[in-house]
Structure 1
Amino acid sequence: MPRPHPTGAATEAPPARPAGAGRTDRPSPEIPEVSLVDPQAVLFSVFTPEGRENPFPALETLREIAPVYYEKELDTFFLTTYADCQAVLTDPTFKTPDLTWCEDHLPDWREHPAADFFYSSMLRANQPDHTRLRRLVSGGFTARRVAALESAIEKITDSLLNDLADATCDGGSANFQNLVGYPLPVAVVGELIGVPEADRPQFWQLGRDASRLLEPVRSEEDWALADRAVTQLREYFRELAARRQRVPADDLVTTLIKAKEGDERLTEDEVIDTLALVFVAGFETTTSLLGLTTHALLTHPDQLALIKQDPDLVPQAVEESLRWDTPVQMTERIAGRKTEIGGVTVPEGANVTTVMAAANRDPRQHPDPHRFDVRRTGTKVLSFSAGPHYCLGAALARLEGSVAVRRLFERFPDLALAGTPQRRESFSLRAYENLPVTTSGKAGK
């Protein structure tokens, strides 16, 4: 598996490494040996094809033997308990890698439009920029605006389910992701932003290419794809924003252009990059959620039967899916001061990787964590992060998931898997590339 350089390029040496890792100018912390089981071997097994398919046994073992594990080769502390991950994500002294971080660890960032976009965006900005950006942008994600999208989501979902019906009408199979999982979030985020329907098809590939920025290892090809996609997205949204300046509409573009608090406004570049970020982030994570939830229900017929009997359980099923098979597995922070996590000293400037996939299956937070249970209550997931960087689009993603799942199984009560699903080759995102289904309840031809 490729091991990344600080520039993001990869060389042929194991193992993988989370984005943000890379401090080499400080001594390695002294971490006591906690078990005869090799935590490095356990951790690295997560990055194998088998580990990508099912990382949970390894993550459980790592949580048991070294819940705060410093991996010297990757130069990051891996956190696998819910309490530790939540504490770091909600602690404002832990920073995100931003443009200041790039100066030391991604020295050629100015050559990459994608790096300039990613590390200056609200996703990576730190205080005070993050607070200012989030305050001005939050008006586009009010409960009223999200609720107003429900009828549009239902209409889009029904149209896509018609396509699924057409593709499987002869008893054959079709890829759920291609017909529903990908196009639904693209259409919904397009509706939110104000992208004309005729323009939306191009965004599917642009979103996928730009999302290579979310990977912990980025090859030269990844950078080329992301740079090109970001450049095209910026050009498109700049033109769309200019149109909304002339003719306002009830959409996110107009909301961001008009966003104002006192004398503060978003700059033109901030409007453009926020629109691009909303599109990329809203598209990828919701696509993952739709496929993962559908697969979880199809492989747990007893739980699927419960939501068929009581459709009011669908939102809980979506929440349980977010916990049981987390779309975004990990994210990184940088310690802004010397601190202690789980009895382990973490130096100032150290990289810390919060493994949400492990945290959401921590038995101290969620009893019997490996059981998929749509009637589970008291669930508190870290799937949308927590604290200052909690996802602004979380309510919209949950709404999309609930509408899609409810209407999917109402329309196709005999929906079934029609072959072996194929996961996307990704370390940070858990998503299906191909989720073959049949609407007749039988395997496709």
Structure 2
Amino acid sequence: MPLAAAHIDTGDTAWLLAATALVLLMTPGLALFYGGMVRTKSVLNMLMMSFVSIALVTVVWLAGGYSLAFGDDAFAGLVGGLGHAGMAGLGPDSVHGTVPTVLFATFQLTFAIITAALISGAIADRAKFGAWLLFVPVWALLVYVPVTHWVWGPGGWIGADLGALDFAGGLPVEITSGASGLALCLVLGPRLGFRKDAMRPHNLPMVVTGAGLLWFGWFGFNAGSALGANGLAAAAFLNTLAAGCTGLLGWLFVEQKRDGHPTTLGAASGAVAGLVAITPSCGTVSLVGALVVGLAAGVLCSYAVSWKFKLNYDDSLDVVGVHLVGGIVGTLLIGLFAVKAMTGGAEGLLYGGGLAPLGKQLVAVVAVAVYAFAATYGLGKLLDKLMGFRASEDEEQTGLDLTVHAETAYDHGVLGHGAPVAASALVSAAQKVKTQS
């Protein structure tokens, strides 16, 4: 991260204000993306899991998360101190680089929010909402905050000591959410009917709309990470667009070759896979590198989403296949495609940098993935023992929208297989579940 400068640059500040708003928009975009992918009986619950993450993560970030992530190193490159707890010392005149520190802290907050929300896709249709309300803030402090300090914090061991590169969040955002999603779906177990029922997305236009909002917000995510209105931001912006496009095309190519049909869901998923992979590398690779990164992610992630059926883990909305695998692809390929013109010094294997950069990226990937998985698995097991993390069988069959939120997304909804159900019948079903419990 840039060192403190003596003044605030208004152009840089204006761009980062816009970028922060764009990244925050990604979470409602994710809500629509995920909401369209589930069945009608859990649409609102899926939306709620994303929206409530905004409030929960914001509270813990302001209370101490920012300080622990970006405060001066307090212990061996693992975590920051509490000098800025409650945002202490971050007045309007405090400067980070060429922007107000409070704006930098808010920008980073939006990253933390969407990372927590991403995990919800792995446990769609079957998690207790009350358990999710407790999981999110604890997870943010236990997993996201320390990993962010490792990568971007002052004295963090991955960024400062190891020297691995991550421009916009492949490690703290994509790999942590993917590994955590895998851990949590193992804790909860598969949905009722997994590998038997079709469980198709109920609203593909909603999925594409959500993917479009994600893509739009991703420009703030990646180009905003330059922390200035400059050439690096412009290059990251173009790399983000390019990788999203090749990711989309790569996924459709695999679908056409494998299944004989390029699908709408595949196009949306491929674009997201390309965007995931370019996140860590958008500020380190050339345009050619970005095209390759996106294409590799689109192809590899399209195959990775089928692993859950072979290995019998129910990653409901492909958080593992897209975010974990895509994040690994993008982070490792920095070791091959990094160019001096973007990094200011470090170069990848294909540009004369040798094997050392690739080794550093690999160490960072393994360390973050293992820590995120282990910590999340332990937290999930603890919450499951204390309060139960999985919804009851009756609640899951009836649908979480009605049984948890007392609402339905559609006046004439369906219960997953195309059969119309009257609203009165839904209410009766919900009352029956409550009586039985």
TM-score, length basis structure 1: 0.26
More helix by share: 2
TM-score, length basis structure 2: 0.27
More strand by share: 1
